[in-house]
With several copies, the nearest count.
Chain A
Amino acid sequence: NESQSTSTKKPFEGKTITVLCGAGLMKPMNELIQNFENETGAKINVHYGGSSELFGVLATTGGDIFIPGAYKYTEDAMKKGIILNDTVKNITYHIPVIAVPEGNPKNIRSLEDLAKPNVKVVMGDPNACAIGKVAKKILEKNHLWENVSKNIVVKTPTVNQLLIYIATDQADAAIIWEDMVTWAESKGKVEVVEIPKDKDIIKTIPTAVTIYAKKDSNLEVAKAFNDYISSDKAKEIWKKWGFIPCK
């Protein structure tokens, strides 16, 4: 067809797709989009937000590519039948760690320390956000859930709240995604306590093309983008921003 007839002309010139992307992925995603646009001439509208907001937008009015903060949301979307199931790809790992305020006042060194008396723990709501669900599973796996539960002062619907509460000293510890705390850690707002690999549950961040891409006849571009961000070439960029790409 036309766009390929002239080799100088970029393949997707004049095409626009919309990407719904977890806000935590903003830095690498911005770079990836820039590269993709330069190469293909397509225009990418990216819409960052919390996974659940993105899910809400997707469910009500659509978007061509869906990249939430955790696989769970893609799964929900697949159940609703708005995802092209064969396009689902994992991009990076999502690693839970323990975040504590600057100086680590309660001296938290391990998961077990979360169960110590007088430790105020903030947790994601296991039903509401991916990190909540994972955190609960990790604690259950280590038989700590019951004891840590007593220390939980609040279960938050969003992951952002966890960071805010730790950074402002409202709580002593939280389980949170590693990529979320890299910035804050480097600024000395929070400290990170790694969870040993065997005790941890590592999640993945997926990307997928939605059925709306079909409707808007953007399928071709969407698929190309979907492939691009999970390509080997893209992995370098993910790494650069502190993510660990999936094999």
Chain B
Amino acid sequence: MRYGINFKGFCIFLSFLFTFLLFLAIASLFLIPNPLEVLNALKTEEMIYSLKLSIITSLVSMIFVMLLSVPIGYALSRYSFPGKSVVKSILDLPIAFPELVLGLALLLLFGQSFIGKFLEDFGIKIVFTKLGIIVAQFFTALPYAVRIIYSTFEEINPRYELVSRSLGYGEFETFFNVSLPLAKNGLFASTIITFARCMGTFGTVLILAGGSYMYTEILPITLYLNISYGNMEMAITSGILLIIISFIAILAFEKFEGHKR
């Protein structure tokens, strides 16, 4: 009995310890600025612009990431095709990139390359534009989502899918009606990670979208810009805003997840 309680206690203790450390670290950010100035900073046009742009681009990127990582994760888990483990490794790879490198790689891909030129002919400009923010966030977050969703699908017994198909549903419908809902936990995890990752993407966006004041300015860039301006209040405020928004979003997700079970 003692043994058991100790293990449980140990695990919960660790959870609280790290939550506490993180909380302290985050809280100390909140203590730097003067609350009044934070309020003022919040009201600036720049901050409002940046906040809006951050949320919108993150949501859009999140949607695209989820739309794409689900079929990719499914294909990697259910079908076998030559070169699969290389494909999996390449898809995982950008996780290991400092954002600067990923940004650079995307810049080369969508900049003056044939792909970039091709897209530009269709009026699609990625480099130094808002679209670039989304592309940057998308490529930064996609690998995480794919990896998580892949390993979730691996856990699902294919017999569920067979039953659905023998009841008349095609592969595609079965995927929607059965595989996807069964992957719920993994989808939640990857949605949370994707959204959070998109909110926090900095270096990739900076290189690909440029980081222009009040144009491609998302919260992490506001933060950096304001540090550069020597405007610490404003910088920390955008950091705090980022934290609060993310916290609310994540908490909402977590509550929603808790509800569904």
Using CB atoms and an 8 Å cutoff, list the residues of chain A in contact with chain B: 18, 22-27, 30, 45-53, 55-57, 59-62, 72-73, 76, 79, 125, 127-129, 153-158, 160-161, 163-165, 167-170, 179-185, 187, 189
Contact = CB atoms under 8 A, between A and B. Distances in A.
Nearest to A23: B228
A55 B34 CA distance: 18
Contacts of A47: 128, 210-212
Nearest to B101: A56
B90 interface: no
Contacts of B229: 23-27, 127-128, 179-180, 183
Interface of A is mostly: helix
B232 interface: yes
Given A55-B230, A56-B227, A180-B230, A61 B212 contact: no
Interface of B: 32, 34, 37, 100, 104, 107-108, 111-112, 127-128, 206-207, 210-215, 221, 224-225, 227-233, 235
Given A158-B224, A161-B207, A167-B232, 4 more contacts: A18-B210, A60-B232, A61-B127, A182-B230
Contacts of B213: 26, 30, 46, 48, 125, 127-128, 155
Contacts of A160: 224, 227-228
A236 B207 CA distance: 31
A45 B37 contact: no
Contacts of A187: 34, 37, 232-233
A235 B213 CA distance: 21
Contacts of B104: 56-57, 60, 164, 168
A128 B207 contact: no
A246 to B, nearest CB: 19
B225 A157 contact: yes
Contacts of A156: 206, 210-212
A183 B232 contact: yes
A51 B214 CA distance: 20
